[in-house]
Amino acid sequence: MAVYTDITDEELAGLLADFDLGQALSLKGVAEGVENSNFLLETETGRYFLTVYEKRTREEDLPFFLGLMRWVAGRGFASATPIADRQGEILKRVRGKPCAIVSFLSGLSVRRPTVAHCREAGAGLAALHLAAEGFGLSRANTLGQAAWAPMFRGLTKAADDLKPGLAAVIEGDLSRLAAQWPKGLPTGVIHADYFPDNVFFASGKFAGAIDFYFACNDALAYDVAIALNAWCFEPDGSFNVTSARALVGGYESLKPLSAAERAALPALAHGAAMRFFLTRLADWGATPQGALVKPKDPLEYERKLAVHRASHDLVLFDGPLA
């Protein structure tokens, strides 16, 4: 939940004066996205989202993110499309901060995905990977495998504070991931944050994805692995292989994985759990005690790490998938 920027009616009118969207009829700050301020904007011509980019989104990355959203929407993928002003600009400014107006995407996210949702989500992710093919810009994954060990250097005390002895276990994971990280897999543009709250459904069918602000270039199967962690764990911390095989099966219904990609998924999921564990651990330490907006619990991903530590070398995705 986040609305960091307050926009006055005059500032909004000034922004809209550059567009052919008519006058503003209503503006509501919405509790969506944790990095930026999001507003649901109603104008005389329809409904839109106005996103104001706060300091955690680097301004130099915005042409990549907004260009990607336009590119995949233009190729038929259901996602919010940035709207250009009369000069053709999509990256605008309000109250001194970068912002963009994007189209409104209907749909509901699910909090407790079923096996059927996992299958749909997998197919949606494949559709995104296919739609992103040919996009002309690229962006390195600043939170990829090479970044984890350096990130953890400042967090060893935080890890041991979270759970005594955890730092040594994480060091072991990091060494193993560095030594065994799958190489040479097909790469492309990945969403990199394909969590249930970023995916919309309508009548049980995939209806689109939002929040492209971690998108980057990396192994496509790594995006599948991020999704396995985000979608296929039960509330009790167990990994649901039925859901996982459904998600991969859904993905393969549109875009088959190679044998090497399938075999790499458990190791990639181990690494994906490390990436989210590390950022959550960093956010956990940085948030003041008693804050009303709680950071996400790093222990959730510590438990996922433990599951993948044990299954790193297992064969989970062989044969025909559900």
HEC string of the chain equals CCCCCCCCHHHHHHHHCCCCCCCEEEEEEECCCCCCEEEEEEECCEEEEEEECCCCCCHHHHHHHHHHHHHHHHCCCCECCECCCCCCCCCEEECCEEEEEEECCCCECCCCCCHHHHHHHHHHHHHHHHHHCCCCCCCECCCCHHHHHHHHHCCHHHHHHHCCCHHHHHHHHHHHHHHHCCCCCCEEEECCCCCHHHEEEECCEEEEECCCCCCEEEEHHHHHHHHHHHHCECCCCCECHHHHHHHHHHHHHHCCCCHHHHHHHHHHHHHHHHHHHHHHHHHHHHCCCCCCCCCCCHHHHHHHHHHHHHHCCCCCCCCCCC
Tell me, by CB under 8 A, how many residues bind its own copies: 37
Instruction: Pick from 27, 84, 149, 254 the residue near its own copies by CB under 8 A.
Output: 27
The amino acid at 87: Q
Which lies closer to its own copies via its Cβ, residue 183 or residue 294? Answer: 294
The reply to whether 33 sits near its own copies by the rule CB under 8 A is no
Which lies closer to its own copies via its Cβ, residue 107 or residue 188? Answer: 107
Residues 104-123 that bind its own copies (CB under 8 A): 106-112
Binding track over 198-227 against its own copies, x by CB under 8 A? --xxxx------------------------
CA atoms of 229 and 267, how far apart (whole Å): 12
The reply to whether 235 sits near its own copies by the rule CB under 8 A is no
Which lies closer to its own copies via its Cβ, residue 165 or residue 290? Answer: 290
Which lies closer to its own copies via its Cβ, residue 51 or residue 145? Answer: 51
The reply to whether 149 sits near its own copies by the rule CB under 8 A is no
The reply to whether 286 sits near its own copies by the rule CB under 8 A is no
Instruction: Pick from 5, 15, 19, 32 the residue near its own copies by CB under 8 A.
Output: 32
The reply to whether 259 sits near its own copies by the rule CB under 8 A is no
The reply to whether 142 sits near its own copies by the rule CB under 8 A is no
Which lies closer to its own copies via its Cβ, residue 22 or residue 134? Answer: 22
Residue 113, token pair as written in the block = 């995905």
The reply to whether 45 sits near its own copies by the rule CB under 8 A is no
CA atoms of 297 and 276, how far apart (whole Å): 10
Which lies closer to its own copies via its Cβ, residue 201 or residue 212? Answer: 201
Instruction: Pick from 236, 291, 319, 320 the residue near its own copies by CB under 8 A.
Output: 291
Of 7-15, 170-178, 218-226, 277-285, which part binds its own copies (CB under 8 A)? 7-15
Instruction: Pick from 12, 99, 127, 155 the residue near its own copies by CB under 8 A.
Output: 12
Give the interface with its own copies as residue ranges (CB under 8 A).
1, 3, 6, 8-10, 12, 23-32, 40, 42, 106-112, 200-203, 287-293
